[in-house]
Amino acid sequence: MKRKFEWIEVVIGLIIVPAMILIVNNIEDGYVIGVFLGLLSAFLAAIFTSLNKKYIVDGKERIISFLELGGAWIFLSLLLPIYHMWQPIEAFWPSNMDWVYLLILALLCTTLAYVMAMKALNYISAFASALTINLEPVYGIFLAVFLLKEHKELNLEFYLGVVIIIAAVTIYPLLMRRRKRKLI
Protein backbone atom coordinates (compact mmCIF):
# COMPACT_ATOMS: atom_id res chain seq x y z
CA MET A 1 0.00 0.00 0.00
CA LYS A 2 3.11 2.20 0.10
CA ARG A 3 2.30 3.62 3.50
CA LYS A 4 4.40 3.95 6.63
CA PHE A 5 4.88 0.74 8.65
CA GLU A 6 2.62 0.80 11.71
CA TRP A 7 4.18 -0.80 14.80
CA ILE A 8 0.83 -0.62 16.59
CA GLU A 9 -0.61 -3.09 14.09
CA VAL A 10 2.27 -5.53 14.63
CA VAL A 11 1.90 -5.31 18.42
CA ILE A 12 -1.87 -5.85 18.23
CA GLY A 13 -1.30 -8.86 15.96
CA LEU A 14 1.28 -10.28 18.39
CA ILE A 15 -1.11 -9.81 21.33
CA ILE A 16 -3.78 -11.82 19.51
CA VAL A 17 -1.51 -14.86 18.92
CA PRO A 18 -1.29 -16.00 22.58
CA ALA A 19 -5.01 -15.26 22.96
CA MET A 20 -5.73 -17.62 20.06
CA ILE A 21 -3.51 -20.25 21.71
CA LEU A 22 -5.57 -19.92 24.91
CA ILE A 23 -8.80 -20.33 22.94
CA VAL A 24 -7.74 -23.47 21.06
CA ASN A 25 -5.54 -24.95 23.80
CA ASN A 26 -8.00 -27.60 24.99
CA ILE A 27 -9.69 -28.61 21.76
CA GLU A 28 -10.24 -32.22 20.83
CA ASP A 29 -7.94 -33.78 18.25
CA GLY A 30 -10.75 -33.92 15.69
CA TYR A 31 -10.93 -30.12 15.60
CA VAL A 32 -7.22 -29.39 14.97
CA ILE A 33 -7.68 -29.37 11.20
CA GLY A 34 -10.55 -26.90 11.63
CA VAL A 35 -8.32 -24.57 13.66
CA PHE A 36 -5.61 -24.63 10.99
CA LEU A 37 -8.19 -24.03 8.26
CA GLY A 38 -9.56 -21.12 10.30
CA LEU A 39 -6.07 -19.62 10.64
CA LEU A 40 -5.46 -20.07 6.92
CA SER A 41 -8.82 -18.45 6.24
CA ALA A 42 -7.93 -15.47 8.45
CA PHE A 43 -4.57 -15.10 6.68
CA LEU A 44 -6.18 -15.22 3.24
CA ALA A 45 -8.92 -12.79 4.37
CA ALA A 46 -6.23 -10.33 5.48
CA ILE A 47 -4.50 -10.56 2.10
CA PHE A 48 -7.84 -10.27 0.33
CA THR A 49 -8.76 -7.16 2.32
CA SER A 50 -5.36 -5.60 1.59
CA LEU A 51 -5.82 -6.20 -2.13
CA ASN A 52 -9.35 -4.80 -1.99
CA LYS A 53 -8.01 -1.67 -0.24
CA LYS A 54 -5.46 -1.28 -3.01
CA TYR A 55 -7.97 -1.57 -5.86
CA ILE A 56 -10.95 0.32 -4.41
CA VAL A 57 -10.91 3.57 -6.36
CA ASP A 58 -13.52 5.86 -7.81
CA GLY A 59 -16.46 4.23 -6.02
CA LYS A 60 -16.20 0.86 -7.80
CA GLU A 61 -17.19 -1.11 -4.70
CA ARG A 62 -20.31 -2.62 -6.27
CA ILE A 63 -18.49 -3.75 -9.41
CA ILE A 64 -15.64 -5.32 -7.45
CA SER A 65 -18.12 -6.95 -5.05
CA PHE A 66 -20.12 -8.35 -7.98
CA LEU A 67 -16.98 -9.80 -9.58
CA GLU A 68 -15.67 -11.32 -6.34
CA LEU A 69 -18.97 -12.75 -5.11
CA GLY A 70 -19.91 -13.89 -8.61
CA GLY A 71 -16.56 -15.63 -8.99
CA ALA A 72 -17.04 -17.36 -5.64
CA TRP A 73 -20.53 -18.49 -6.71
CA ILE A 74 -19.22 -19.92 -10.00
CA PHE A 75 -16.35 -21.70 -8.23
CA LEU A 76 -18.65 -23.25 -5.62
CA SER A 77 -21.16 -24.21 -8.30
CA LEU A 78 -18.40 -26.08 -10.13
CA LEU A 79 -17.49 -27.89 -6.89
CA LEU A 80 -21.10 -28.87 -6.19
CA PRO A 81 -21.10 -32.02 -8.39
CA ILE A 82 -17.99 -33.25 -6.56
CA TYR A 83 -19.74 -32.67 -3.24
CA HIS A 84 -22.74 -34.67 -4.45
CA MET A 85 -20.52 -37.71 -4.98
CA TRP A 86 -20.39 -38.07 -1.19
CA GLN A 87 -23.69 -36.49 -0.22
CA PRO A 88 -26.96 -37.44 -1.96
CA ILE A 89 -28.86 -34.54 -3.52
CA GLU A 90 -32.06 -35.35 -1.60
CA ALA A 91 -30.34 -34.54 1.69
CA PHE A 92 -29.06 -31.27 0.26
CA TRP A 93 -32.01 -29.71 -1.55
CA PRO A 94 -33.59 -26.81 0.41
CA SER A 95 -37.30 -26.64 1.16
CA ASN A 96 -39.45 -23.78 -0.19
CA MET A 97 -39.10 -21.69 2.98
CA ASP A 98 -35.35 -22.36 3.03
CA TRP A 99 -35.10 -20.61 -0.36
CA VAL A 100 -36.60 -17.47 1.20
CA TYR A 101 -34.10 -17.61 4.07
CA LEU A 102 -31.24 -18.24 1.63
CA LEU A 103 -32.24 -15.19 -0.43
CA ILE A 104 -32.38 -13.01 2.70
CA LEU A 105 -28.98 -14.28 3.83
CA ALA A 106 -27.48 -13.88 0.35
CA LEU A 107 -28.80 -10.41 -0.38
CA LEU A 108 -28.82 -8.69 3.01
CA CYS A 109 -26.36 -10.51 5.21
CA THR A 110 -23.75 -11.23 2.53
CA THR A 111 -24.02 -8.95 -0.48
CA LEU A 112 -25.13 -5.75 1.25
CA ALA A 113 -22.72 -6.28 4.15
CA TYR A 114 -19.88 -7.01 1.74
CA VAL A 115 -20.50 -3.88 -0.36
CA MET A 116 -20.66 -1.79 2.82
CA ALA A 117 -17.39 -3.31 4.06
CA MET A 118 -15.77 -2.49 0.71
CA LYS A 119 -17.05 1.08 0.94
CA ALA A 120 -15.64 1.34 4.48
CA LEU A 121 -12.17 0.56 3.11
CA ASN A 122 -12.16 4.13 1.75
CA TYR A 123 -12.09 5.36 5.36
CA ILE A 124 -10.28 2.70 7.43
CA SER A 125 -7.10 0.70 7.04
CA ALA A 126 -7.01 -2.81 5.64
CA PHE A 127 -5.69 -3.94 9.05
CA ALA A 128 -8.70 -2.51 10.89
CA SER A 129 -11.04 -4.12 8.39
CA ALA A 130 -9.34 -7.54 8.61
CA LEU A 131 -9.32 -7.29 12.41
CA THR A 132 -13.04 -6.64 12.45
CA ILE A 133 -13.88 -9.34 9.93
CA ASN A 134 -11.85 -11.94 11.79
CA LEU A 135 -13.90 -11.24 14.93
CA GLU A 136 -16.84 -12.99 13.27
CA PRO A 137 -16.17 -16.32 15.06
CA VAL A 138 -16.17 -14.49 18.40
CA TYR A 139 -19.59 -13.01 17.60
CA GLY A 140 -20.78 -16.47 16.59
CA ILE A 141 -19.58 -17.96 19.86
CA PHE A 142 -21.32 -15.24 21.88
CA LEU A 143 -24.54 -15.84 19.99
CA ALA A 144 -24.24 -19.60 20.60
CA VAL A 145 -23.68 -18.98 24.32
CA PHE A 146 -26.52 -16.49 24.80
CA LEU A 147 -29.12 -17.75 22.34
CA LEU A 148 -28.49 -21.50 22.29
CA LYS A 149 -26.92 -21.96 25.75
CA GLU A 150 -23.97 -23.78 24.13
CA HIS A 151 -21.18 -23.08 26.58
CA LYS A 152 -20.76 -26.25 28.61
CA GLU A 153 -17.41 -27.16 27.04
CA LEU A 154 -15.84 -23.69 27.31
CA ASN A 155 -13.25 -23.16 30.03
CA LEU A 156 -11.57 -20.21 31.75
CA GLU A 157 -8.66 -20.18 29.27
CA PHE A 158 -11.14 -19.80 26.41
CA TYR A 159 -12.83 -16.80 28.05
CA LEU A 160 -9.45 -15.24 28.91
CA GLY A 161 -8.38 -15.56 25.25
CA VAL A 162 -11.62 -13.96 24.06
CA VAL A 163 -11.20 -11.08 26.53
CA ILE A 164 -7.63 -10.47 25.32
CA ILE A 165 -8.75 -10.43 21.67
CA ILE A 166 -11.64 -8.08 22.35
CA ALA A 167 -9.36 -5.82 24.43
CA ALA A 168 -6.77 -5.73 21.62
CA VAL A 169 -9.41 -4.94 19.01
CA THR A 170 -10.95 -2.26 21.24
CA ILE A 171 -7.64 -0.61 22.10
CA TYR A 172 -6.44 -0.47 18.46
CA PRO A 173 -8.61 2.50 17.36
CA LEU A 174 -7.88 4.29 20.63
CA LEU A 175 -4.13 3.95 20.09
CA MET A 176 -4.42 5.05 16.46
CA ARG A 177 -6.49 8.11 17.44
CA ARG A 178 -3.98 9.01 20.16
CA ARG A 179 -1.09 8.60 17.71
CA LYS A 180 -2.78 10.85 15.14
CA ARG A 181 -3.33 13.56 17.78
CA LYS A 182 0.39 13.51 18.59
CA LEU A 183 1.24 13.94 14.90
CA ILE A 184 -1.01 17.00 14.59
> Residue-wise pLDDT tens for the chain (184 aa)?
667 777 888 888 888 888 888 888 877 778 788 888 888 887 887 788 888 888 887 767 888 888 888 998 899 889 888 877 777 766 667 888 998 999 998 888 888 888 888 888 888 888 888 777 767 777 777 787 888 887 777 788 888 988 898 888 888 888 888 877 776 6
Whether the CB-CB separation of 145 and 64 falls below 8 Å is answered with: no
SS3 for 154?
coil
What is the Cα–Cα distance from 81 to 47, expressed in whole angstroms?
29
In degrees rounded to 5, what are phi and psi of residue 122?
-70, -20
Whether the CB-CB separation of 12 and 183 falls below 8 Å is answered with: no
What is the Cα–Cα distance from 184 to 180, expressed in whole angstroms?
6
Instruction: Report pLDDT for 91.
Output: 63
Whether the CB-CB separation of 110 and 69 falls below 8 Å is answered with: yes
SS3 for 121?
coil
What is the Cα–Cα distance from 86 to 102, expressed in whole angstroms?
23
Instruction: Report pLDDT for 75.
Output: 93
What is the Cα–Cα distance from 119 to 103, expressed in whole angstroms?
22
Neighbouring C-beta atoms of residue 182, cutoff 10 Å: 6
* Residue positions counted in the chain: 184
